[in-house]
Amino acid sequence: MITGGATDGDSHRARKAHARQLEVHGVSSGRTLEGPIIGFGPQDLEGVETPHDDALVIRATIANYNIVRIFVDTGSSVNIIFKAAFTQMQIDMAELQPMATSLFGFTGNEVQPLGQITLAISLGEEPQRRTRRVPFVIVDAPSAYNVILGRPTSGL
């Protein structure tokens, strides 16, 4: 889990807004989303010891690349792409925007991001597939995952 820091950018204004810790309430758009009901039944627990706290690991399309081993962490305040995966995506490092805010939480130590970039991410299958542009922070740190999706992507 990555904690702390502004979830909506690295600007001075974003850091000040985060420091004020505004209370946020969910608001419905008023429209009804169509699509299949997602549910879990007894067959989904086959081979799983309960109670469990297994990680949710998914795959998605990010910047037209099929990415696997994406850890969904709704407690994380940023979306992370680890440098090894970012390099394999063949996106030029020159496209990264500088970032002054350090991250904490990987090993308890401070981690300085390489930069940030906004990329398109697509989840789901047609006709329920959704695509949005979301900010990602690029980090050079070891990880069993390629990407961590945090709160900035939760509205997808």
Q: What is the pLDDT of residues 21-61, one digit of tens each?
A: 444 444 455 566 666 666 667 777 777 777 767 788 899 99
Predicted confidence at residue 104, as pLDDT, reads 81
Q: Using the Cα atoms of residue 40, residue 45, residue 48 and residue 49 in order, give the sign of their dihedral.
A: positive
Q: Cβ-count burial of 134 within 10 angstroms (0-12 exposed, 13-18 middle, 19+ buried)? A: middle
Question: How much is the pTM?
Answer: 0.70
Phi, psi of 111 (to 5 degrees): -120, 125
CA 74, CA 72: separation in Å to the nearest integer?
A: 6
14 found inside a domain:
no
Number of domains forming the structure of the chain: 1
Tokens of 105: 């939480």
The alpha carbon of 92 is separated from its chain's Cα centroid by a whole number of angstroms, namely 20
Predicted confidence at residue 15, as pLDDT, reads 57
103 found inside a domain:
yes
101 found inside a domain:
yes
CATH number for the domain harbouring residue 154: 2.40.70.10
18 found inside a domain:
no
Phi, psi of 108 (to 5 degrees): 90, -10
121 found inside a domain:
yes
The identity of residue 27, as a single letter, is: V
1 found inside a domain:
no
Ranked by mean pLDDT, which of 38-52, 81-95, 107-121 comes out on top? 81-95
Domain that holds residue 127: 54-156
**Residue 84 belongs to what H/E stretch?**
helix 83-88
35 found inside a domain:
no
* Contact of 147 with 66, CB cutoff 8 Å: no
pLDDT at 72 over 80: yes
48 found inside a domain:
no
